[in-house]
């Protein structure tokens, strides 16, 4: 199984996205879902989608360490930066992640009703990241986007497409990106942040749990 998209329920129904929004029964809605026909070979754990939330009790602090900087999407060249990051960050995924094109980026991000350039964030390192040098030196080592699930204005803020280059993991890049998104939610008046992930992405699940995210049913 190759997945095209992850994260919150942002894709159109019927798109090739196992986490895309489909109506689910009230008993499982918003909690933990299994895609019943997933391979049909006992690998259903791979299809388990976790919906996690964290309640914000105070404004999250955002303080990049020396040598790193946070910046948001600035120009169309950042599409290539983002695509390269996504590919590298998910290259070791236990679930194959389909390579995206600029058209996929547009469909899943810039064409969305919630899209704003200042919702997609990069962490850049002062070091040159030669592994992303396809179109010149790139310094981006992680990315995350704040998206909205549901109607514009009345929707819920969700973390979307979080990824960190493998060689920069366990240094706080992911924590910094999430803090940046959470701070934006706080300043917009929101007090809860959600996300979707796969149970098979054990690193991501451990990461979110370490940051205080819990399954929606018990996180409230």
Ligand X SMILES: CC(C)(COP(=O)(O)OP(=O)(O)OC[C@H]1O[C@@H](n2cnc3c(N)ncnc32)[C@H](O)[C@@H]1OP(=O)(O)O)[C@@H](O)C(=O)NCCC(=O)NCCS
User: Minimum distance between the CB of residue 161 and ligand X, rounded to whole angstroms?
Assistant: 7
- By beta-carbon proximity to ligand X, the closer residue of 2 and 76 is 2
- By beta-carbon proximity to ligand X, the closer residue of 72 and 169 is 169
Q: Which of residues 161-220 bind ligand X (CB under 6 A)?
A: 162-164, 169-175, 197, 201, 203-204, 206-207, 210
6 vs 107: CA distance, rounded Å: 14
Give 3-state DSSP helix, strand, coil % of the chain, rounded to 5.
30, 25, 45
How far the first Cα of the chain sits from its last, in Å, is 33
Q: Counting contacts by CB under 6 A, is residue 147 touching ligand X? A: no
109 in Cβ contact with 115 (< 8 Å): yes
**Using a CB cutoff of 8 Å and minimum separation of 24, what contacts does 205-208 make?**
205/50, 207/174, 208/52
User: Minimum distance between the CB of residue 7 and ligand X, rounded to whole angstroms?
Assistant: 6
User: Minimum distance between the CB of residue 82 and ligand X, rounded to whole angstroms?
Assistant: 13
Q: Coil, helix or strand for 61?
A: coil
Report, in angstroms and rounded to the nearest whole number, the Rg of the chain calculated over CA atoms: 17
User: Going by C-beta distance under 8 Å and a sequence separation of 6 or more, which residues neighbour residue 129?
Assistant: 137, 138, 139, 140, 141, 165
From residue 50 to residue 89, the character string flagging contacts with ligand X as x (rule: CB under 6 A) and all else as - is ---------------------------------------x
From residue 94 to residue 133, the character string flagging contacts with ligand X as x (rule: CB under 6 A) and all else as - is ----------------------------------------
Q: Counting contacts by CB under 6 A, is residue 6 touching ligand X? A: yes
83 in Cβ contact with 102 (< 8 Å): yes
User: Going by C-beta distance under 8 Å and a sequence separation of 6 or more, which residues neighbour residue 27?
Assistant: none
- By beta-carbon proximity to ligand X, the closer residue of 80 and 203 is 203
User: Minimum distance between the CB of residue 117 and ligand X, rounded to whole angstroms?
Assistant: 21
HSE-CB at 93 with a 13 A cutoff on CA atoms is 27
User: Minimum distance between the CB of residue 33 and ligand X, rounded to whole angstroms?
Assistant: 15
Q: Coil, helix or strand for 210?
A: helix
User: Minimum distance between the CB of residue 138 and ligand X, rounded to whole angstroms?
Assistant: 16
- By beta-carbon proximity to ligand X, the closer residue of 90 and 105 is 90
Find the farthest-apart pair of alpha carbons in the chain and give their distance in angstroms, rounded.
50
- By beta-carbon proximity to ligand X, the closer residue of 79 and 197 is 197
Q: Name the residues that contact ligand X, by CB under 6 A.
A: 6-7, 89-90, 162-164, 169-175, 197, 201, 203-204, 206-207, 210
């Amino acid at each position: 199984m190759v997945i095209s998209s992850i994260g919150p329920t942002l894709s159109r129904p019927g798109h090739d996205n196992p986490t895309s929004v489909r109506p689910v029964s009230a008993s499982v809605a918003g909690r933990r879902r299994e895609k019943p026909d997933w391979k049909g070979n006992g690998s259903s754990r791979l299809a388990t989608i976790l919906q996690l939330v964290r309640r914000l009790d105070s404004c999250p602090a955002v303080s990049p360490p020396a040598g790193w900087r946070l910046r948001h999407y600035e120009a169309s060249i950042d599409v290539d930066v983002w695509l390269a990051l996504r590919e590298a960050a998910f290259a070791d995924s236990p679930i194959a992640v389909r390579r995206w094109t600029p058209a996929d980026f547009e469909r899943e991000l810039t064409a969305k009703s919630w899209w704003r350039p200042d919702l997609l964030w990069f962490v850049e390192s002062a070091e040159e990241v030669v592994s992303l040098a396809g179109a010149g030196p790139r310094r981006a080592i992680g990315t995350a986007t704040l998206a909205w699930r549901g109607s514009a204005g009345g929707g819920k803020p969700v973390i979307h497409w979080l990824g960190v280059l493998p060689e920069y993991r366990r240094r706080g890049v992911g924590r910094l990106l999430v803090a940046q998104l959470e701070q934006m939610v706080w300043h917009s008046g929101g007090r809860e942040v959600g996300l979707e992930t796969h149970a098979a992405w054990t690193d991501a699940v451990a990461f979110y749990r370490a940051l205080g995210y819990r399954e929606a049913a018990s996180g409230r």
